[in-house]
Amino acid sequence: MDRMRGLVGLGMVLVACGDDGLPPVDAGAPDLPPTVDAGPPPPPSADLCDRVRPGPGTSDAVEVGLSRAHAAARFFRMDGSLLAADRALIAGLTEHGLSESLLDGYAAELDLCAANAAGTPREIAVTDLGWATSIRAGVVATSPEAPTGRVVLDLRDLTVEEATYLRASLEGAVGAFTPLRHGVRRRQGMASELGEVGAPDAYEAGGGNFDPEPWTGEGSASTLIVLTGPRMAPAAAELAITLRLANRAWLVGEDVETGVAEMHWEPVVGRGLLIRDTELVDRTTLERVPDRIPADVRALDALLAAETLAPDGPPPPRTGALPDERAGFLHPDPRAEHHDVSVDRPALQAAGLILHGSLRRFFPYFDVVPDRIDERLASQLAALDELDLDDRAAVVDWVRHLLQAVDDGHGFVGDRGAPYDPEQPSHLPLALEFIGDRLVVYASADAEVHPGDEVLAIAGRRVPELYAEYAEVVSAASEGYRRDLVTRRLVQRSVTTTVVVRAPGDPERSVELEPVVATVQSELMRALTGRASGPLDDLGHPDVHYINLDGSWVVQDETDVLGLLARAAESARGVVVDMRGYPGGLSYRDQQEAIGRITGGAALSGHLVTPVWLGAGREASVEVQQTWPAPTGPALEVPVMWLVGPRTVSQAEHVSQVVVGSGAVTVVGRPSAATNGNITGVELPGRIVATFTGMRVTNPDGSRFHGVGIVPDVTVEPTPEGVAAGRDEILEAALAALE
């Protein structure tokens, strides 16, 4: 008991072990140092934010830091409510503007911690204390020589950055052990925030696990003493907890809060957030680690207490249950929560930060497209000074211009806060498509405008001027698809509109066009995707069978796709398959059967790679390559021409990748939209919604697809004269290739 009295006199309290937990005192042991009876150390703070050390700052602009930190909190904190996180961001922006000053209120609202960033990290320090060797982890180029005997691991006051060197600094002395399991919020892609609650989704969000790599050092130390302090870096706290639970090390200094060990640091300029995004789990019992791991000796001066204790060998096992009452993960469905429709400046600032952060986390092509999203965010936030927030269309276009920066053909922005009446006339009665730089009419419901006419101006503005403006608010991975998206916007007119047109070889003329409902304009658009399926008798090729896979042309009767393929297998000299539109009208199984009959056997899809986040700080991926099965019906044994164009996008390209990768077809037409992969979506303040591609897709051979697309073997550009004459010049080129 003499040693017990000495420890208490030093301002220390032995915890949990009792007398049996102390190393034996033999007759030759030195006297304890003189002490002053300071009483026990004060109890530690109950606020985890007072117990955790921060990490480094960042030189990124404040808006980029806020975006990144908000995305980490939004997607990975314990509570899981996306709406609550977004509202906390809006509240902070309302009070403080775009400033790191908003972090305190934001953190308090979401049960996070805000802190000033730490300074420059220190280098590793190895000190011979005489009675032990002390190692304080820090920056290290090569792992130090592992000391023997009694080793003190000084984990007090390490910063987050210094704690990244724990393994390099300490593995040799500590030796082999298995780290604790990390229970995390696992996100395989960004689960869509759009659609009905409980609806199927291509992406997943829920509970998951991460098992850190085991330590493999030789373990030179005979006794390990871990010095702990009132404030610790998360990784340092985790190491202390792990070693004590495994009865590998004594804890001297202060109790260790498991909640601290479960935090993740996100910097915002000179400050940052500490976000609890993990649950530590014992990998043997699969139970959560208790809330607090008591120190073997609580002491104001941990190093002096360790010298006084001077144990030899490992500590005894702990006995008795410890509380486990800290909050766990909640998994609300994001589609059950919705923003307010109204927007003000802070709400729109938040919308920009939310979209930027979502893209940074889950858009998979920043190594392929120009990475300009940070600069675009800054310019858009600055542009708010000139934006009329009462102009709903201008507000939505503000979001569109931000999304346009990522060159993604799935990058769309919609307004769910605005009323929509499908019976209200909303479109020009025209089907338009760019042929080169000329905007050409393919179909018209107005008697004064004809196929082949070139549109020169709409509502008093010339087409090149309109194109330059609209191209800034549409996102696309290819120029052909960008032009297609611009035409969709050009025809959106809800009032009588003057259009200037010109037939090939004729002078300009002005026409007044009355708007039509969207369904009428959609029917006109069929002219861009071919014709009805069947033998091409009218073109003088009755022995060539034409099959249109566009959903607007597929019918469910004796002329259905599988029936046509069966007849083509019996009697056709060649087959033309038109995939210039979007596949539809077939079940997925029938679609696979149809493709199998074209490829003649099993075929591979492109590689589908989905980003995976295991908590806020660990990124991985899941890769799938589908095998489309061999057909059950007769396969084609004749040449097949496969038609594509700028409207061949997404699933149409997925199907095209399978057949093109099989080598079974000759591709004719124009390059496709160069955009494949499942879409995800985020709801922004104002009930503005944005979508983007959530997975990376490459070709079956692994080569790049995004921004490249399906490249024709035979490239054909239609002409206004051909359109005026009712000719399908791409189909004609396919027939010529068959010859």
Domain holding 50: CATH number?
Answer: 3.90.226
Total domains, the chain = 3
Residues 567 and 637 in one domain: yes
pLDDT of amino acid 36: 32
Taking the C-alpha atoms of residue 62 and residue 47, their distance in angstroms, rounded to an integer, is 27
Q: Is residue 139 in a domain?
A: yes
Smallest CA-to-CA distance from 401 within 469, 490, 478 is with 469
pLDDT of amino acid 507: 96
Q: Is residue 420 in a domain?
A: no
Q: Is residue 499 in a domain?
A: yes
Q: Is residue 345 in a domain?
A: no
Residues 607 and 536 in one domain: yes
Q: H/E element holding 569?
A: helix 561-571
DSSP count for the chain of H helices, then E strands: 20, 35
Residue 570, Ramachandran bin (φ over 0: left; ψ between -120 and 50: alpha; else beta): alpha
Taking the C-alpha atoms of residue 369 and residue 706, their distance in angstroms, rounded to an integer, is 9
Q: Is residue 362 in a domain?
A: no
pLDDT of amino acid 8: 44
CATH number at residue 467: 2.30.42.10
Q: Is residue 80 in a domain?
A: yes
Secondary structure of residue 626 in the 3-state scheme: strand
Q: Is residue 102 in a domain?
A: yes
Which of 76-90, 578-592, 623-637 is predicted with the least confidence, judged by mean pLDDT? 578-592
Q: pLDDT-based confidence at 265, cuts 50/70/90?
A: very high
Instruction: Find out whether 373 and 396 touch, Cβ atoms under 8 Å.
Output: no
Q: Is the pLDDT score of 337 beyond 50? A: yes
Q: pLDDT-based confidence at 558, cuts 50/70/90?
A: low
Q: What are phi and psi of 109, to 5 degrees?
A: -70, -30
Residues 434 and 547 in one domain: no
Q: Is the pLDDT score of 465 beyond 80? A: yes
pLDDT of amino acid 141: 84
pLDDT digits (tens, 9 = 90+) for 267-304: 999 999 999 999 999 999 999 999 999 999 999 999 99
What residues contact 87, with CB distance under 8 A and at least 6 apart? Answer: none
Instruction: Find out whether 125 and 19 touch, Cβ atoms under 8 Å.
Output: no
Share of residues in the chain with pLDDT > 90 (%): 87
Distance of CA 158 to the CA centre of its chain: 31
DSSP codes joined into one string, 309-377: H---SPPPPP-S-----S-------GGG----S---HHHHHHHHHHHHHHHHHH---TTTS---HHHHH
Name residue, tokens 């056709």: 572
Tell me what percent of the chain is helix, strand and coil, each rounded to the nearest 5: 30, 25, 45
- Domain boundary residue among 283, 317, 351? 317
Q: Is the pLDDT score of 29 beyond 50? A: no
SS3 of 648-692: the string is CCCHHHHHHHHHHHHCCCEEEECCCCCCCCCEEEEEECCCEEEEE
Residues 446 and 479 in one domain: yes
Taking the C-alpha atoms of residue 408 and residue 676, their distance in angstroms, rounded to an integer, is 9
Which of 22-31, 402-411, 658-667, 673-682 is predicted with the least confidence, judged by mean pLDDT? 22-31
- Domain boundary residue among 317, 349, 379? 317
Taking the C-alpha atoms of residue 111 and residue 73, their distance in angstroms, rounded to an integer, is 10
CATH number at residue 706: 3.90.226.10
Domain region containing 476? 430-525
Q: Is the pLDDT score of 552 beyond 90? A: no
Q: Is the pLDDT score of 261 beyond 70? A: yes
Q: Is the pLDDT score of 185 beyond 70? A: yes
Taking the C-alpha atoms of residue 281 and residue 178, their distance in angstroms, rounded to an integer, is 12
Taking the C-alpha atoms of residue 168 and residue 210, their distance in angstroms, rounded to an integer, is 21
Residues 665 and 681 in one domain: yes
pLDDT of amino acid 647: 96
Instruction: Find out whether 504 and 722 touch, Cβ atoms under 8 Å.
Output: no
pLDDT of amino acid 554: 81
Q: Is residue 206 in a domain?
A: no
Total count of residues recorded for the chain: 739
Q: How far is CA 438 from CA 136, 409, 727, 730, in A?
A: 70, 22, 18, 17
Residues 51 and 144 in one domain: yes
Instruction: Find out whether 691 and 678 touch, Cβ atoms under 8 Å.
Output: no
Q: What is the mean pLDDT of residues 543-571?
A: 87
Residues 485 and 580 in one domain: no
Return the structure tokens found at 377.
Answer: 């965010």
Residues 287 and 158 in one domain: yes
Rounded (10°) CA dihedral 510, 516, 519, 525: 0
Residues 511 and 535 in one domain: no
Residues 536 and 510 in one domain: no
Instruction: Find out whether 141 and 135 touch, Cβ atoms under 8 Å.
Output: no
Residues 224 and 273 in one domain: yes
pLDDT of amino acid 10: 46
The pTM (predicted TM-score) of the whole model is: 0.93
What residues contact 335, with CB distance under 8 A and at least 6 apart? Answer: 192, 193, 194, 195, 196, 197, 198, 199
Q: Is the pLDDT score of 338 beyond 80? A: yes
Rounded (10°) CA dihedral 138, 140, 145, 146: 40
Instruction: Find out whether 585 and 615 touch, Cβ atoms under 8 Å.
Output: no
- Domain boundary residue among 474, 491, 525? 525
Residues 497 and 555 in one domain: no
